[in-house]
Amino acid sequence: MHDFGVGILGTGIYLPEKTLTNADLEKMMDTSDDWITRRTGMKKRHLLDDDKPACTMGVEAAKQAIRDANITPDDIDLIIVTTETPDYLSPSMSCLIQKHIHANKAAAFDINAACTGFVYAMTIAQQFIETGYYRFVLIVSNEGLSRIIDWKDRNTSILFGDAAGAVVVGRVKKGYGIRKSYLASFGDLGHNLTIPCCYVSEEDRQKRRKEMERTLWQDGSEVFTFAIRAMTDATRRVVEAEGKTMEDVALVVPHQANLRIINGAAKRLHLSDDKIAVILQDTGNISSASIPVALNFSDKKGLLKKGDIIVMVAFGGGLTCGAALLVWGK
Ligand code: COA
Protein backbone atom coordinates (compact mmCIF):
# COMPACT_ATOMS: atom_id res chain seq x y z
CA MET A 1 0.00 0.00 0.00
CA HIS A 2 2.70 2.49 1.04
CA ASP A 3 6.36 2.41 0.17
CA PHE A 4 7.24 3.35 3.73
CA GLY A 5 6.52 2.30 7.32
CA VAL A 6 5.71 4.56 10.28
CA GLY A 7 8.03 4.29 13.26
CA ILE A 8 9.95 6.00 16.04
CA LEU A 9 12.79 8.25 14.86
CA GLY A 10 13.94 9.63 18.21
CA THR A 11 13.24 9.41 21.94
CA GLY A 12 13.72 11.73 24.93
CA ILE A 13 12.91 11.71 28.64
CA TYR A 14 12.87 13.91 31.69
CA LEU A 15 12.91 12.66 35.27
CA PRO A 16 12.98 15.35 37.99
CA GLU A 17 16.08 15.36 40.17
CA LYS A 18 14.22 15.13 43.48
CA THR A 19 13.36 11.57 44.52
CA LEU A 20 11.05 10.01 47.09
CA THR A 21 12.21 6.62 48.38
CA ASN A 22 10.27 3.96 50.25
CA ALA A 23 12.23 5.02 53.34
CA ASP A 24 10.90 8.58 52.89
CA LEU A 25 7.35 7.23 52.62
CA GLU A 26 7.84 5.27 55.87
CA LYS A 27 8.30 8.63 57.61
CA MET A 28 5.13 10.07 56.05
CA MET A 29 2.58 7.26 56.62
CA ASP A 30 1.97 3.82 58.08
CA THR A 31 3.86 1.77 55.48
CA SER A 32 7.19 -0.01 55.04
CA ASP A 33 9.88 -0.52 52.43
CA ASP A 34 9.26 -4.26 52.78
CA TRP A 35 5.50 -3.95 52.04
CA ILE A 36 5.96 -1.61 49.06
CA THR A 37 8.76 -3.71 47.57
CA ARG A 38 6.88 -7.01 47.93
CA ARG A 39 3.50 -5.69 46.74
CA THR A 40 4.66 -3.38 43.93
CA GLY A 41 8.40 -3.81 43.16
CA MET A 42 8.87 -0.04 43.55
CA LYS A 43 11.80 1.55 45.40
CA LYS A 44 11.69 5.23 44.47
CA ARG A 45 9.87 7.83 42.37
CA HIS A 46 10.84 11.26 41.02
CA LEU A 47 8.93 14.38 42.07
CA LEU A 48 8.75 17.71 40.29
CA ASP A 49 9.12 20.80 42.50
CA ASP A 50 5.70 22.27 43.34
CA ASP A 51 6.56 25.68 41.90
CA LYS A 52 7.29 24.36 38.39
CA PRO A 53 4.60 23.71 35.77
CA ALA A 54 4.46 20.06 34.68
CA CYS A 55 5.06 21.08 31.05
CA THR A 56 8.71 21.88 31.93
CA MET A 57 9.32 18.11 31.97
CA GLY A 58 7.70 17.61 28.57
CA VAL A 59 9.67 20.47 27.05
CA GLU A 60 13.00 18.85 28.02
CA ALA A 61 11.90 15.40 26.83
CA ALA A 62 10.65 16.89 23.54
CA LYS A 63 13.93 18.73 22.87
CA GLN A 64 15.89 15.50 23.39
CA ALA A 65 13.59 13.48 21.12
CA ILE A 66 13.86 16.11 18.33
CA ARG A 67 17.68 16.07 18.60
CA ASP A 68 17.70 12.26 18.63
CA ALA A 69 15.58 12.20 15.46
CA ASN A 70 17.99 14.62 13.74
CA ILE A 71 15.28 17.09 12.86
CA THR A 72 14.49 20.65 13.99
CA PRO A 73 11.40 22.00 15.79
CA ASP A 74 10.35 23.60 12.50
CA ASP A 75 9.98 20.14 10.96
CA ILE A 76 7.26 19.10 13.44
CA ASP A 77 3.79 19.02 11.85
CA LEU A 78 1.78 17.92 14.87
CA ILE A 79 2.27 17.69 18.64
CA ILE A 80 0.15 15.22 20.60
CA VAL A 81 0.42 15.35 24.38
CA THR A 82 -0.91 12.59 26.60
CA THR A 83 -1.52 13.70 30.16
CA GLU A 84 -3.74 13.31 33.19
CA THR A 85 -2.29 16.41 34.82
CA PRO A 86 -2.53 19.34 32.38
CA ASP A 87 -1.23 22.59 33.84
CA TYR A 88 -4.30 24.25 32.30
CA LEU A 89 -7.32 22.89 30.48
CA SER A 90 -6.63 25.79 28.15
CA PRO A 91 -4.09 26.36 26.77
CA SER A 92 -3.52 22.67 26.27
CA MET A 93 -0.26 21.10 27.39
CA SER A 94 0.61 20.55 23.72
CA CYS A 95 0.27 24.29 22.99
CA LEU A 96 2.42 25.10 26.04
CA ILE A 97 5.10 22.72 24.80
CA GLN A 98 4.82 24.08 21.26
CA LYS A 99 5.50 27.59 22.58
CA HIS A 100 8.57 26.55 24.58
CA ILE A 101 10.20 24.44 21.86
CA HIS A 102 9.28 26.93 19.09
CA ALA A 103 7.61 24.32 16.88
CA ASN A 104 5.83 27.16 15.15
CA LYS A 105 4.42 25.25 12.21
CA ALA A 106 2.84 22.48 14.27
CA ALA A 107 -0.80 21.81 15.08
CA ALA A 108 -1.21 20.71 18.69
CA PHE A 109 -3.75 18.89 20.86
CA ASP A 110 -3.94 16.82 24.05
CA ILE A 111 -5.56 13.43 24.45
CA ASN A 112 -6.64 11.65 27.59
CA ALA A 113 -6.59 7.87 27.56
CA ALA A 114 -4.96 7.88 31.03
CA CYS A 115 -2.04 5.45 31.30
CA THR A 116 -2.85 4.01 27.86
CA GLY A 117 -2.34 7.46 26.32
CA PHE A 118 0.99 6.74 24.63
CA VAL A 119 -0.32 3.70 22.77
CA TYR A 120 -3.37 5.70 21.64
CA ALA A 121 -1.16 8.60 20.51
CA MET A 122 1.16 6.32 18.53
CA THR A 123 -1.84 4.92 16.66
CA ILE A 124 -3.20 8.42 15.96
CA ALA A 125 0.21 9.58 14.71
CA GLN A 126 0.44 6.54 12.45
CA GLN A 127 -2.85 7.46 10.71
CA PHE A 128 -1.71 11.02 9.98
CA ILE A 129 1.62 9.87 8.58
CA GLU A 130 0.34 6.91 6.57
CA THR A 131 -2.17 9.11 4.74
CA GLY A 132 0.60 11.56 3.87
CA TYR A 133 -1.17 14.37 5.76
CA TYR A 134 1.82 14.90 8.08
CA ARG A 135 5.49 13.96 7.95
CA PHE A 136 6.69 14.35 11.57
CA VAL A 137 4.57 13.95 14.72
CA LEU A 138 5.94 14.68 18.19
CA ILE A 139 4.30 12.72 21.00
CA VAL A 140 4.94 13.90 24.56
CA SER A 141 3.64 11.90 27.51
CA ASN A 142 3.80 14.41 30.31
CA GLU A 143 2.67 13.32 33.77
CA GLY A 144 2.87 15.11 37.12
CA LEU A 145 0.93 12.58 39.19
CA SER A 146 2.32 13.85 42.50
CA ARG A 147 -0.04 16.83 42.05
CA ILE A 148 -3.22 14.77 42.16
CA ILE A 149 -2.27 12.40 44.99
CA ASP A 150 -3.59 12.46 48.54
CA TRP A 151 -0.31 11.92 50.37
CA LYS A 152 -2.20 10.57 53.36
CA ASP A 153 -3.77 7.73 51.31
CA ARG A 154 -1.32 4.83 51.53
CA ASN A 155 -3.34 2.76 49.04
CA THR A 156 -2.41 5.06 46.15
CA SER A 157 0.31 7.54 47.11
CA ILE A 158 3.09 4.93 47.25
CA LEU A 159 2.54 4.05 43.58
CA PHE A 160 2.96 7.24 41.57
CA GLY A 161 5.74 9.55 40.35
CA ASP A 162 6.39 12.39 37.89
CA ALA A 163 8.11 12.13 34.48
CA ALA A 164 7.88 12.89 30.79
CA GLY A 165 8.76 10.77 27.78
CA ALA A 166 8.73 11.94 24.16
CA VAL A 167 9.14 10.38 20.73
CA VAL A 168 9.26 11.70 17.19
CA VAL A 169 7.22 9.54 14.83
CA GLY A 170 7.82 9.59 11.08
CA ARG A 171 8.53 7.54 7.98
CA VAL A 172 10.84 4.53 8.24
CA LYS A 173 11.76 1.85 5.69
CA LYS A 174 8.90 -0.35 4.50
CA GLY A 175 8.45 -3.37 6.77
CA TYR A 176 9.64 -1.44 9.84
CA GLY A 177 7.69 0.61 12.38
CA ILE A 178 4.17 0.04 13.70
CA ARG A 179 2.73 -3.12 12.18
CA LYS A 180 -0.36 -3.73 14.31
CA SER A 181 -2.21 -1.92 17.06
CA TYR A 182 -5.24 -2.55 19.24
CA LEU A 183 -7.12 0.06 21.27
CA ALA A 184 -10.01 -0.63 23.65
CA SER A 185 -12.12 1.23 26.22
CA PHE A 186 -14.40 -0.06 28.97
CA GLY A 187 -16.35 2.99 30.14
CA ASP A 188 -18.62 0.85 32.29
CA LEU A 189 -15.59 0.10 34.51
CA GLY A 190 -14.50 3.74 34.76
CA HIS A 191 -15.70 4.13 38.36
CA ASN A 192 -12.76 1.96 39.50
CA LEU A 193 -10.26 4.79 38.95
CA THR A 194 -11.37 8.41 39.09
CA ILE A 195 -9.82 11.89 39.12
CA PRO A 196 -12.60 14.53 39.27
CA CYS A 197 -11.92 17.76 37.42
CA CYS A 198 -14.66 20.35 36.78
CA TYR A 199 -17.40 18.34 38.51
CA VAL A 200 -17.35 16.42 41.80
CA SER A 201 -20.24 14.04 42.57
CA GLU A 202 -21.40 13.02 46.02
CA GLU A 203 -19.93 9.56 45.34
CA ASP A 204 -16.56 11.16 44.53
CA ARG A 205 -16.70 13.11 47.80
CA GLN A 206 -17.47 10.05 49.86
CA LYS A 207 -14.47 8.18 48.50
CA ARG A 208 -12.04 10.93 49.49
CA ARG A 209 -10.94 12.90 52.51
CA LYS A 210 -12.41 16.36 52.93
CA GLU A 211 -10.51 18.99 50.88
CA MET A 212 -9.06 16.17 48.74
CA GLU A 213 -11.95 16.02 46.29
CA ARG A 214 -9.90 16.19 43.12
CA THR A 215 -7.33 13.56 43.96
CA LEU A 216 -6.83 10.16 42.34
CA TRP A 217 -8.96 7.41 43.87
CA GLN A 218 -8.88 3.77 42.82
CA ASP A 219 -10.17 0.37 43.77
CA GLY A 220 -6.72 -1.24 43.69
CA SER A 221 -7.78 -4.86 43.54
CA GLU A 222 -10.42 -4.29 40.78
CA VAL A 223 -7.85 -2.42 38.69
CA PHE A 224 -5.26 -5.12 39.42
CA THR A 225 -7.51 -7.92 38.10
CA PHE A 226 -8.51 -5.89 35.02
CA ALA A 227 -4.87 -5.00 34.32
CA ILE A 228 -3.54 -8.55 34.08
CA ARG A 229 -6.42 -9.66 31.87
CA ALA A 230 -6.23 -6.56 29.63
CA MET A 231 -2.44 -6.62 29.18
CA THR A 232 -2.45 -10.33 28.35
CA ASP A 233 -5.32 -10.01 25.88
CA ALA A 234 -4.01 -6.87 24.14
CA THR A 235 -0.53 -8.37 23.71
CA ARG A 236 -1.91 -11.62 22.26
CA ARG A 237 -4.13 -9.72 19.84
CA VAL A 238 -1.34 -7.72 18.19
CA VAL A 239 1.09 -10.63 18.09
CA GLU A 240 -1.48 -12.97 16.52
CA ALA A 241 -2.69 -10.28 14.09
CA GLU A 242 0.88 -10.02 12.82
CA GLY A 243 1.01 -13.81 12.35
CA LYS A 244 3.73 -14.17 15.01
CA THR A 245 4.12 -16.00 18.32
CA MET A 246 5.51 -14.74 21.63
CA GLU A 247 8.76 -16.54 20.70
CA ASP A 248 9.23 -14.01 17.88
CA VAL A 249 8.94 -11.01 20.23
CA ALA A 250 12.29 -9.53 21.31
CA LEU A 251 10.99 -7.16 23.99
CA VAL A 252 7.68 -6.25 25.64
CA VAL A 253 7.54 -2.69 26.99
CA PRO A 254 4.61 -2.65 29.41
CA HIS A 255 2.96 0.10 31.41
CA GLN A 256 4.77 0.27 34.76
CA ALA A 257 1.98 0.06 37.34
CA ASN A 258 3.02 -2.83 39.57
CA LEU A 259 5.65 -5.57 39.13
CA ARG A 260 3.05 -8.18 40.13
CA ILE A 261 0.79 -7.03 37.28
CA ILE A 262 3.68 -7.26 34.80
CA ASN A 263 4.71 -10.69 36.12
CA GLY A 264 1.09 -11.91 36.12
CA ALA A 265 0.68 -11.02 32.44
CA ALA A 266 4.14 -12.39 31.57
CA LYS A 267 3.30 -15.72 33.18
CA ARG A 268 0.10 -16.06 31.14
CA LEU A 269 2.01 -15.15 27.97
CA HIS A 270 4.91 -17.54 28.81
CA LEU A 271 7.29 -14.62 28.55
CA SER A 272 10.72 -14.79 30.23
CA ASP A 273 12.02 -11.91 32.39
CA ASP A 274 14.76 -10.95 29.91
CA LYS A 275 12.08 -10.05 27.35
CA ILE A 276 10.33 -7.45 29.54
CA ALA A 277 11.45 -3.86 30.10
CA VAL A 278 11.00 -2.98 33.78
CA ILE A 279 11.87 0.46 35.19
CA LEU A 280 9.26 0.91 37.92
CA GLN A 281 11.74 0.26 40.73
CA ASP A 282 13.26 3.67 39.88
CA THR A 283 10.20 5.60 38.65
CA GLY A 284 7.01 4.24 40.20
CA ASN A 285 3.89 4.48 38.05
CA ILE A 286 4.38 7.46 35.72
CA SER A 287 1.13 6.86 33.82
CA SER A 288 1.36 7.35 30.06
CA ALA A 289 5.06 8.29 30.34
CA SER A 290 5.87 4.70 31.39
CA ILE A 291 6.30 3.30 27.88
CA PRO A 292 8.30 6.12 26.24
CA VAL A 293 10.60 6.36 29.28
CA ALA A 294 11.12 2.57 29.35
CA LEU A 295 11.74 2.60 25.57
CA ASN A 296 14.37 5.31 25.99
CA PHE A 297 16.12 3.34 28.77
CA SER A 298 16.09 0.18 26.62
CA ASP A 299 17.44 2.09 23.61
CA LYS A 300 20.27 3.59 25.70
CA LYS A 301 21.15 0.12 27.02
CA GLY A 302 21.42 -1.12 23.42
CA LEU A 303 18.52 -3.54 23.91
CA LEU A 304 16.64 -2.40 20.80
CA LYS A 305 18.16 -3.81 17.62
CA LYS A 306 17.06 -2.97 14.10
CA GLY A 307 14.48 -5.56 13.02
CA ASP A 308 13.48 -6.54 16.59
CA ILE A 309 9.79 -7.09 17.23
CA ILE A 310 8.72 -4.88 20.15
CA VAL A 311 5.30 -4.90 21.82
CA MET A 312 4.16 -1.87 23.81
CA VAL A 313 1.17 -2.61 26.04
CA ALA A 314 -0.76 -0.54 28.56
CA PHE A 315 -3.95 -0.24 30.60
CA GLY A 316 -5.35 2.57 32.69
CA GLY A 317 -8.17 4.83 33.75
CA GLY A 318 -11.29 4.95 31.58
CA LEU A 319 -10.82 2.05 31.86
CA THR A 320 -8.72 1.70 28.72
CA CYS A 321 -6.13 -0.66 27.32
CA GLY A 322 -4.11 -1.04 24.16
CA ALA A 323 -1.06 -2.53 22.51
CA ALA A 324 1.11 -1.83 19.49
CA LEU A 325 3.53 -4.17 17.77
CA LEU A 326 6.40 -2.53 15.98
CA VAL A 327 9.51 -3.60 14.16
CA TRP A 328 12.33 -1.43 15.50
CA GLY A 329 13.69 0.60 12.62
CA LYS A 330 15.49 3.55 14.23
N1 COA B 1 1.61 -0.08 53.25
C2 COA B 1 1.27 -1.06 54.09
N3 COA B 1 0.10 -1.70 54.05
C4 COA B 1 -0.77 -1.34 53.10
C5 COA B 1 -0.49 -0.32 52.18
C6 COA B 1 0.76 0.33 52.28
N7 COA B 1 1.14 1.30 51.45
N8 COA B 1 -1.53 -0.17 51.35
C9 COA B 1 -2.45 -1.08 51.73
N10 COA B 1 -2.00 -1.77 52.78
C11 COA B 1 -2.66 -2.86 53.53
C12 COA B 1 -4.17 -2.83 53.36
O13 COA B 1 -4.75 -1.93 54.26
C14 COA B 1 -4.52 -4.26 53.64
O15 COA B 1 -4.55 -4.47 55.03
P16 COA B 1 -5.67 -5.41 55.71
O17 COA B 1 -5.42 -6.77 55.13
O18 COA B 1 -5.36 -5.27 57.14
O19 COA B 1 -6.97 -4.81 55.28
C20 COA B 1 -3.33 -5.05 53.08
O21 COA B 1 -2.24 -4.11 53.00
C22 COA B 1 -3.58 -5.64 51.71
O23 COA B 1 -4.16 -4.64 50.90
P24 COA B 1 -4.56 -4.89 49.41
O25 COA B 1 -5.27 -3.68 48.88
O26 COA B 1 -5.24 -6.21 49.30
O27 COA B 1 -3.12 -4.99 48.77
P28 COA B 1 -2.73 -5.42 47.32
O29 COA B 1 -1.78 -6.54 47.37
O30 COA B 1 -3.94 -5.55 46.42
O31 COA B 1 -1.91 -4.16 46.80
C32 COA B 1 -2.14 -2.26 45.37
C33 COA B 1 -2.56 -2.90 46.68
C34 COA B 1 -2.83 -0.90 45.24
C35 COA B 1 -0.64 -2.07 45.37
C36 COA B 1 -2.56 -3.19 44.19
O37 COA B 1 -3.91 -3.57 44.35
C38 COA B 1 -2.39 -2.57 42.85
O39 COA B 1 -1.29 -2.31 42.41
N40 COA B 1 -3.49 -2.37 42.08
C41 COA B 1 -3.45 -1.82 40.77
C42 COA B 1 -3.44 -0.32 40.88
C43 COA B 1 -3.00 0.35 39.61
O44 COA B 1 -2.28 -0.18 38.84
N45 COA B 1 -3.46 1.59 39.42
C46 COA B 1 -3.06 2.42 38.37
C47 COA B 1 -3.70 2.05 37.10
S48 COA B 1 -2.89 2.79 35.76
Distance 321 CA to ligand 1 centre (A): 21
Q: What is the mean pLDDT of residues 145-162?
A: 96
Position 326 scores a pLDDT of 98
Give CA–CA dist 326/324, Å, rounded: 6
Cα first-last separation, the chain: 21
User: Per-residue pLDDT tens for 70-83?
Assistant: 999 999 999 999 99
- Residues with Cβ within 8 Å of residue 209, at least 6 apart in sequence: 150, 152, 153
Position 29 scores a pLDDT of 95
Residues in a beta bridge with 324: 181, 312
| Residues taking part in catalysis | 115, 255, 285
Encoded amino acid at 179, one letter: R
Q: How confident is the model at residue 330 (pLDDT cuts 50, 70, 90)?
A: confident
Q: How confident is the model at residue 161 (pLDDT cuts 50, 70, 90)?
A: very high
Please name the residue whose Cα sits nearest to atom 34 of ligand 1. Answer: 220
Distance 219 CA to ligand 1 centre (A): 9
**C-alpha pair distances (Å), 246 with each of 239, 252, 253, 290, 325:** 7, 10, 13, 22, 11
Position 57 scores a pLDDT of 98
Other beta carbons within 10 angstroms of residue 25's beta carbon come to 22
pTM for the model stands at 0.97
Give CA–CA dist 114/226, Å, rounded: 15
Q: What is the mean pLDDT of residues 220-244?
A: 98
Ligand 1 binding pocket (C-beta < 6 A) is: 31, 35, 39-40, 115, 154-155, 158, 193, 218, 220-221, 223-224, 227, 257-258, 285, 316
Give CA–CA dist 138/227, Å, rounded: 28
Q: Is the pLDDT of residue 37 over 80?
A: yes
Q: Is the pLDDT of residue 1 over 80?
A: no
Determine contact, residues 258/221, Cβ cutoff 8 Å.
no
Mutate to test the pocket of ligand 1, among 192, 224, 262 (most ligand atoms within 8 A of CB): 224
Of the chain, the percentage scoring pLDDT greater than 90 comes to 98
User: Per-residue pLDDT tens for 289-320?
Assistant: 999 999 999 999 999 999 999 999 999 999 99
Give CA–CA dist 251/199, Å, rounded: 41
Position 329 scores a pLDDT of 86
Determine contact, residues 106/125, Cβ cutoff 8 Å.
no
Distance 268 CA to ligand 1 centre (A): 22
Q: How confident is the model at residue 225 (pLDDT cuts 50, 70, 90)?
A: very high
Q: What is the mean pLDDT of residues 173-182?
A: 97
Position 2 scores a pLDDT of 80
Q: Is the pLDDT of residue 106 over 90?
A: yes
Query: What is the average pLDDT value for the chain, to the nearest integer?
Result: 97
